[in-house]
Structure 1
Amino acid sequence: MRDNSLPPKARPGGALVLRFIGASGLANLGDGIATIAWAWVASLITRDPLLVAVVAVALRLPWALLALPAGIVTDRVDRRRLILAMDLVRALAFGAAAVALWLALPLDPPSESGVSSIPVFITLLLAALVVGGAEVFRDNAAQTMLPALVPHDRLEAANGRLWSLELTGNALVGPPLGAFLIALFLPLAFAANALFYALAGLIVASIAGQFRPRGAQRRDWRGELAEGFAFLQGAPLLRLLAWLTGFWNLFFQMVMIALVLHVQENLGLTSTGYGLVLAAGAVGGILGGLCGERIVRRIGKGAAAQWTLLASVPAFAAIALAPNLMTLALVLALFEFCGLVWNTVSVSTRQRMIPDALLGRVNSLYRLLAWGMMPLGLLLSGLVVRAAELVLDREQALTAPFWVASAGVMIVTLAGWRGLGRGLRG
């Protein structure tokens, strides 16, 4: 007997899918503005790489703390309603941060070793923690909701389109818009985020249907979590993908937080130039998302995963060597292209392998491994710069995280090469 409360599976271009992707696009436009707003505002009150990284750590730390509870909650409740609630929480947090920044203006010049405004720094940290926490629940629910809308044999196509639109907002439109808003009036970047998250929530609210997993019921959370652990323990391919993604994310975060001071001090770019560099990366990522399904079908999932992972090695080194905006933009475009092909393989594989009733918990365990190392990478970036400054000048020290990340990804790629080829064969 058919359960009419559940939405029918739709093609990737179906109305329900388009609404879902549209809401994600708006939310990611807010994320794109925040990409430049968090780090850039932090750099306006401190020039210490470690303190700049602390703000980004506050944004990513909830992934290590809340991933497991988010998985349990996602498998108990209507995932659409959870997404809606988290979008509204993020809207409120950004709105509060905008008001706090407005009240703190004008800001004092940035401190070289401390912070020029403790209230602003604390405000950034608290807002980042709230936004990061809501993001854990929202993203986990979103990744588990998509397979309810799309047939499993079309997940690569749907994910590719979803990520292409997300990247359009997150890195193509968002960062330049964020840079413009920061230059126009500092709090506007955070106020715009509040607006976009609220609009995303309204679109999610318009998606009809019940998205609570079949058979979902409140039980002992330890038993529920144990079921997720047992499934992941019996899925060596998922564990491999989680660990590879985790270490890659660690090195990626080292690079991206180091990039903020590198483009300012070594390349002399303004916030607008930085936004354009990120936008160029987004163009590559969008193309990767659109081409990912074709590449996977042409060379196979295993080869696609292996070679796109390996591509990070020269890309991270090239970031350190890029002499100007145009060269750096080209490097990031090629890098993001490969990154989106990797995502097409890894996320679609995960969504296809995990049963719907366990999707939230297993997905959260996976992302605990895959995303939980992000805060460590952010902190390591600042520590690497500090250590490098003991023996190198400031200009060279600011590029040290790029070289460390390149070497680290090489080790990760070699360690996972054969396992990817075997596990993703076919």
Structure 2
Amino acid sequence: MSTLVEIVAPRRLGTGFRWLLASSWISNLGDGIAIAAGPLLVASLTHDPFLVALAALLQWLPPLVFGLYAGALADRLDRRLIVVTVDLLRAAVLALLTFAIATDVVSIALVLVAMFLLGTAEVFADNTSSTLLPMLVHRDDLGIANARLTSGFITVNQLAGPPIGAALFAAGHAVPFVAQAVMVALGAMLAARIVLPPHGQAHEERTRLRQDVAEAFRWVLRHPAVRTLVLTIFVFNITFGAAWSILVLYATQRLGMGEVGFGLLTTVSAVGGLIATLCYGWITRRVSLANLMRVGLVFETFTHLALALTTRPVVAMVIFFFFGAHAFIWGTTSTTVRQRAVPSELQGRVGSVNLVGVFGGLVIGSGIGGGLAQHWGVTAPFWFAFAGSAVFVVLIWGQLSHIAHADGREQPAAA
């Protein structure tokens, strides 16, 4: 057992990292269960494409509204305390949702409110959690540490969680949300064991939140690599959000897959991501970061086209497998570049600028996707995603060279 722990979380990464890893994996298992159970709950209450897309939008809207303030608070306050408190609040909301489902008083309006509250809590939890790793691990080990966190995310959130969530939902609509509440609460208790170095501003040093946020924007605008990453993820999440916001309808109506089949799509994507974790070091030793980003963006563009054309579940699963590999490589690389480039005192705020880019794109995209699907069918958002992505790739192509110089040298490959 000790050998396995050493392989997964090498001793040099520290005890704090091991607690962080355990907390992340447990919480992500709960969230993975909800990946399938949440949309299935919405679909059981309504078949209106607009309301289905609205459910996704209400989970993606809070980072856009609260993200910048969450980042500013993470740079001011006890980061561990923020994570623990917010995760416990998430567990409470899930407990109330479970009660409503079990007593048969649940409605689409109540589910939408719950999703907004859960999304709001995740803004503060996820943004603050992303600042912990650079405080616990040496910058030269950030690549491998991020790879371990992401591999756990893929395994439990994307691979194990969705089919479990779909199966639990089939057993009883309230059951997956009970499981998620327990997992989130346990993750909070594990996070409470982390010991962080001193951080946060002294009271007399504090400025206004608006000044803190403005400083982060100025820093991002002056840093070519991080600026390019934020812009790219914003635009590509518009196209991604348009297509993925109605994915449950695409899977059930276009592909003819049932509840468990919908969860299987996410699982197949996770398998691709997990295999990519094993190849990540090999890939980054042979392909420059700029070319890695270029290949990934081209691949994502044609993923939308292929999904718009196919009606066969087997073909769709193959596409999702390779898309999962791409998503892992992109996510791990962009996170490591940002963490290495950003000073510790700005990690929360710059992370929040990136978060606003991520979810701002998803919010805009989900609104577009719901409208397109309602008027022209479930494949219309995928055609929009293909066309929009293709145009942006052409426009951003030359700027991607900045990513290779995030801090004056190539990042070390993850082991």
Instruction: Please list every run of 5 or more consecutive structure 1 residues that lacks an aligned counterpart in the other structure.
Output: 1-9, 106-118, 389-396
* Whole-angstrom distance in 2 between the partners of 1:322 and 1:161: 34
Q: Does residue 81 of the first structure (1) align with residue 81 of the second (2)?
A: yes
CA offset digits 1:320-340 (Å, max 9, x no partner): 333333322211110110111
Q: Does residue 367 of the first structure (1) align with residue 355 of the second (2)?
A: yes
* Bigger fraction of residues in helix: 2
Structure 1, 235-244 or 204-213: larger mean CA deviation: 204-213
Q: Does residue 204 of the first structure (1) align with residue 191 of the second (2)?
A: yes
> Which residue matches 2:212?
224
How far is 1:351 from its partner? 0.6
**AA at the equivalent of 2:281:** E
Query: Is the 8 Å Cα contact of residues 12 and 157 (structure 1) preserved in structure 2?
Result: no
CA offset digits 1:250-273 (Å, max 9, x no partner): 221222222211211222211111
Secondary structure of the 1:186 match is: coil
* Whole-angstrom distance in 2 between the partners of 1:233 and 1:272: 44
* Whole-angstrom distance in 1 between the partners of 2:91 and 2:149: 22
CA offset digits 1:237-293 (Å, max 9, x no partner): 212210110111122122222221121122221111111111010111122234323
* Whole-angstrom distance in 2 between the partners of 1:240 and 1:215: 33
Change (3 A) 1:353 1:11: farther
Q: Does residue 160 of the first structure (1) align with residue 147 of the second (2)?
A: yes
How far is 1:409 from its partner? 1.3
* Whole-angstrom distance in 2 between the partners of 1:286 and 1:309: 19
How far is 1:14 from its partner? 3.6
Structure 1, 354-363 or 249-258: larger mean CA deviation: 249-258
* Whole-angstrom distance in 1 between the partners of 2:353 and 2:250: 34
How far is 1:104 from its partner? 1.6
Q: Does residue 193 of the first structure (1) align with residue 173 of the second (2)?
A: no
> Which residue matches 2:92?
92
Q: Does residue 406 of the first structure (1) align with residue 386 of the second (2)?
A: yes
CA offset digits 1:56-106 (Å, max 9, x no partner): 11111101100111011000112111111121111111111111111127x
> Which residue matches 1:184?
171
* Whole-angstrom distance in 1 between the partners of 2:353 and 2:260: 38
> Which residue matches 2:17?
17
* Whole-angstrom distance in 1 between the partners of 2:277 and 2:165: 23
> Which residue matches 2:134?
147
> Which residue matches 1:277?
265
> Which residue matches 1:115?
none
Q: Does residue 120 of the first structure (1) align with residue 107 of the second (2)?
A: yes
Secondary structure of the 1:104 match is: coil
Q: Does residue 286 of the first structure (1) align with residue 286 of the second (2)?
A: no
* Whole-angstrom distance in 1 between the partners of 2:101 and 2:228: 43
* Whole-angstrom distance in 1 between the partners of 2:317 and 2:198: 40
* Whole-angstrom distance in 2 between the partners of 1:320 and 1:194: 36
**AA at the equivalent of 1:238:** V
Secondary structure of the 2:137 match is: coil
1:238-253 matches, within 5 Å, as 238-253=226-241
**AA at the equivalent of 1:208:** V
* Whole-angstrom distance in 1 between the partners of 2:391 and 2:258: 34
* Whole-angstrom distance in 1 between the partners of 2:49 and 2:250: 10
Correspondent of 2:284 among 296, 304, 329: 296
CA offset digits 1:18-73 (Å, max 9, x no partner): 22112111111111111112211111121111111111111111011001110110
> Which residue matches 1:254?
242
Change (3 A) 1:214 1:69: closer
* Whole-angstrom distance in 2 between the partners of 1:364 and 1:30: 23
Instruction: Please list every run of 5 or more consecutive structure 2 residues that lacks an aligned counterpart in the other structure.
Output: 1-9, 411-415
* Whole-angstrom distance in 1 between the partners of 2:202 and 2:388: 43
**AA at the equivalent of 1:122:** A
* Whole-angstrom distance in 1 between the partners of 2:44 and 2:12: 43
Query: Is the 8 Å Cα contact of residues 160 and 290 (structure 1) preserved in structure 2?
Result: no
> Which residue matches 2:308?
320
How far is 1:208 from its partner? 2.6
Change (3 A) 1:344 1:294: farther
How far is 1:16 from its partner? 2.2
CA offset digits 1:166-213 (Å, max 9, x no partner): 111211111000001110000111111101001101111122334634
* Whole-angstrom distance in 2 between the partners of 1:134 and 1:211: 24
What is the TM-score normalised by the length of structure 1? 0.89
* Whole-angstrom distance in 1 between the partners of 2:220 and 2:402: 18
Query: Is the 8 Å Cα contact of residues 80 and 211 (structure 1) preserved in structure 2?
Result: no
Query: Is the 8 Å Cα contact of residues 293 and 344 (structure 1) preserved in structure 2?
Result: no
> Which residue matches 1:424?
404
* Whole-angstrom distance in 1 between the partners of 2:18 and 2:321: 26
Aligned residue-pair number: 396
Change (3 A) 1:47 1:69: same
* Whole-angstrom distance in 2 between the partners of 1:11 and 1:325: 43
> Which residue matches 1:38?
38
* Whole-angstrom distance in 1 between the partners of 2:56 and 2:219: 32
Change (3 A) 1:398 1:320: same
Change (3 A) 1:153 1:240: same
* Whole-angstrom distance in 1 between the partners of 2:141 and 2:341: 14
**AA at the equivalent of 2:166:** A
> Which residue matches 1:135?
122
Correspondent of 1:264 among 223, 234, 252: 252
Query: Is the 8 Å Cα contact of residues 215 and 357 (structure 1) preserved in structure 2?
Result: no
How far is 1:12 from its partner? 6.7
